[in-house]
Amino acid sequence: MTITMAKPDEEVAGTSQWAVETHGLTKRFGDNVAVNAVDLRVPRGCAFGYLGPNGAGKTTLIRVLLGLTHADAGTMSLLGYRVPKHRDKALARVGAIVDEPRFHAHLTGRENLELLANNREHAARGRVGPSLERVGLSHRADDRVAKYSMGMRQRLGVAACLIGDPQLLILDEPMNGLDPAGMQDMREMILTLVAEGRTVVLSSHLLDEVQRTCDAVAIVDRGSVIRQGPIAELLSGASLVVQVECSDPDRARTLLENTSLGAQTNLQPNGLAITLPAGTSRDVIAEIARLLVEGGISLYRLQEAQTSLESWFLEVTSRLEDAG
């Protein structure tokens, strides 16, 4: 990923290639560093996952970006506008859900959106109806929010983002509270929004969902971004895992560990999982098969496991824990 510095004035607005850009962004709560010198670059027009375990500082970073709380150090820009200096211009085309979406419970969904639309540009009022329709809440738009389920409030939160016709959507755990069908709908909507040319930043700990939805990710842990880039690029650096079903897994394990392949083996109920270092050639798979057969072990199945974002994430974070 190319790194370029954002120009400090608003002339770059709308032309910057980064939807979000931060340099050394830091936020502290007393002694606790919630966001630790984060350098983040989110390209325009993609779905970007911001991943991390609970308490990693995902929501805090989003709150700092949106001006909900101030940063202690660092610089940041949204859509090319430096914030907080040009916060009003930047946020004019940003929609966001932060934490659990909450609204005035005594108002209807439509009234809540109208209230928010009245704080935006004049045209936002005309987007209330289409936004509700888009998130599938038209039929309940005139019910009080107090009667909404968690999933419906989540959808209303997305509708609240859409009334500003945003170029950048920042969604904090948008899948929370959604049933499987709702998650599927949300996933499709995010992809549609990206197809329209918008940028979607998705904060989540649901790695599978992020892998299905996002083009690029950043991994955050203890306030720091430890990896960022396109998912395919990141996973290409992951370990190679081979699943083996054979007649004698214990002997196969001993046999493989005594070779120079550098394989780490792990006994599983249905066989053996062999983990090879990142960058290992796929020819090694054939070598494993040859070794096992020559060792007199009957081979029933030999399969390269698809590396998932989840396994890669766990691998990366476990390395960090080991280092710690």
Partner 1 sequence: MTTVPNTATVATAEAAGLSGGPPDHRGSPIPTFGMIRSRVKELRKRRGLMIAMALVTIGIPTVFLVVRLLLHAFAPRTYGPAGGYDIYTSLVSGVLYVFGFIVAATLGATAGSADLGDGMFRHLVVTGRSRLALYLTRIPSGLAIIVPLVAVGFTIVCAVCVFAAPSQLSYSGVNVPGNLSRAGLESWATGHADEVVCNFGLRIGPSTSQSASTILSVVNNVPCGNGPGGGPVFSKGPPGSSTQPPPSQAQITEAARQIAGMDYSDYARLFLYPSNSLMIKSGLWLELEAVIGFMVGLGLGSLIGQRTVAVVLMIVLEVVLTPIFSRARIPHLLNLQRAVVGLATAHLAPGGLPVLGGGGGGPFGGGGGNPGLLPESTTVAVCVIVAWLVGWSVLGAWRMMTRDA
Which residues are near partner 1 by CB under 8 A? 13-15, 63, 66-69, 79, 87-96, 98-107, 111-112, 114-116, 118-123, 125, 127, 130, 133-136, 155, 160, 162, 164-165, 167, 182, 185-186, 188-189, 192, 196-198
Distance of CA 148 to the CA centre of its chain: 26
Is-contact 298 263, C-beta < 8 A?
no
Structure tokens at 1: 């990923």
Give the residue with the Cβ less far from partner 1, 41 or 86: 86
> Considering beta carbons, is residue 172 or 221 the nearer one to partner 1?
172
- Could you tell me the smallest distance in angstroms from the CB atom of residue 230 to partner 1? 23
Q: Provide, rounded to whole angstroms, the least separation between the CB of residue 305 and partner 1.
A: 33
Report, in Å, the least distance between residue 137 CB and partner 1. Answer: 9
Residue 155 main-chain phi, psi, to 5 deg: -65, -40
Q: Are 307 and 235 in contact (CB under 8 A)?
A: yes
Q: What is the CA radius of gyration of the chain?
A: 24
Nearest approach, Cβ of residue 29 and partner 1 (Å): 10
Closest CB to partner 1 among residues 91, 292 = 91
| Residue 162: Cβ-neighbour burial (10 angstroms; 0-12, 13-18, 19+) | buried
Residues in contact with 260: Cβ distance below 8 Å, sequence separation at least 6, in sequence order: none
| Relative orientation angle of helices 109-117 and 150-162, to the nearest 10 degrees | 30
For residues 197 and 324, which CB has a smaller minimum distance to partner 1 in the complex? 197
User: Least distance to partner 1 from the beta carbon of 127, Å?
Assistant: 6
Residue whose CB is less far from partner 1, 156 or 309:
156
